Homo-oligomer: A and B are copies of this chain.
């Protein structure tokens, strides 16, 4: 069977307690004995059982990441940030994908992760999701990105300001018929994109421009969804002169549809995205750049602080700013022109 502390203790000629103390680096162990224990462990190829340690100490030694999607660029960038922040920590990372927010889960996250981890990073969950209630019921450390939930810390994006900046950018260029490609439930508070919707409406209202409801369409946050929405917009009676997509991916789709119809982003219809993925620079897409890596890293750090019981060192809510990155998809002119200017929004 597996090598256990007992085996190491026997080989090193000490008790199991001493083995544990020696390997965990306690100061109350004679250096000579410590070396002997380490040698014995090495020789036996000993690896402690995390399950036993977890059971004994009550600490799982891992954190869970809960997200509704794994196949979106934003998630990848946040995960990358989380991974960076977790480096050097001895915490492991568990991934739990809730899938479509409306889907019921075969195993609810509570039963699934509850006592397997010491805390959760919750990414982009809609606040009215049943999962949110489930998670908060657990009464465990949580750090989330998105709306501020009924738990500890959260990292938020200044979504509203970003949407205002994006909309004002289009208005400033003289556009009045501005279409909106949102995710799913633009009118549902508690959903991430709601704040963006508010920002859009606010900017339009301030400029005295009407929001044409026929120009507001869902795009499901995917390329295909964005492409379909754009097709609908172009097929409408009075197509828009500018489109604001709530994600870069949807903007990509919109651009694809335009190209298929021989239209050029920028000169024919202005397109602005929201995310600032690296690939957007290649498509010359004007976008609201979001620091997803930083979001991930900050969320992870907050959770670790909470777990270590030193929460409160940083604010419970951190709001990160977005940044407007202007490219030719809203300026028109040279398709290869890569004019880039940046403005802070936050």
Contacts and interface: CB of A to CB of B under 8 A. Distances in A.
Contacts of A70: 76, 79-80, 83
B116 A92 contact: yes
Contact of A252 (B76, B223, B260, B279): B279
Contacts of A166: none
A151 interface: no
A278 interface: yes
A276 B41 CA distance: 47
Interface in A69-99: 70-71, 73, 75-77, 79-80, 83, 87-88, 90, 92-97, 99
Contacts of A336: 259-260, 262, 335
Nearest to A263: B336
Interface in A36-91: 45, 47-52, 54-55, 60, 62, 70-71, 73, 75-77, 79-80, 83, 87-88, 90
Contact of A282 (B52, B255, B278): B255
23 contacts: A45-B137, A47-B114, A47-B115, A50-B115, A51-B52, A51-B55, A52-B55, A71-B80, A73-B76, A76-B76, A83-B97, A87-B99, A92-B94, A92-B95, A92-B112, A93-B94, A94-B95, A223-B278, A259-B336, A260-B336, A262-B336, A282-B283, A335-B336
A82 to B, nearest CB: 9
A300 to B, nearest CB: 13
B62 A71 contact: no
A269 B55 CA distance: 61
A56 to B, nearest CB: 9
A25 interface: no
A83 B65 CA distance: 13
Interface residues of A, number: 56
A113 B106 CA distance: 26
A328 to B, nearest CB: 11
Interface in A84-134: 87-88, 90, 92-97, 99, 106-107, 110-116
A111 B47 contact: yes
A281 interface: yes
A252 B282 contact: yes
What 5 A-B pairs have minimum CB-CB distances, sorted nearest first?
Answer: A51-B54, A71-B80, A47-B114, A51-B55, A93-B95
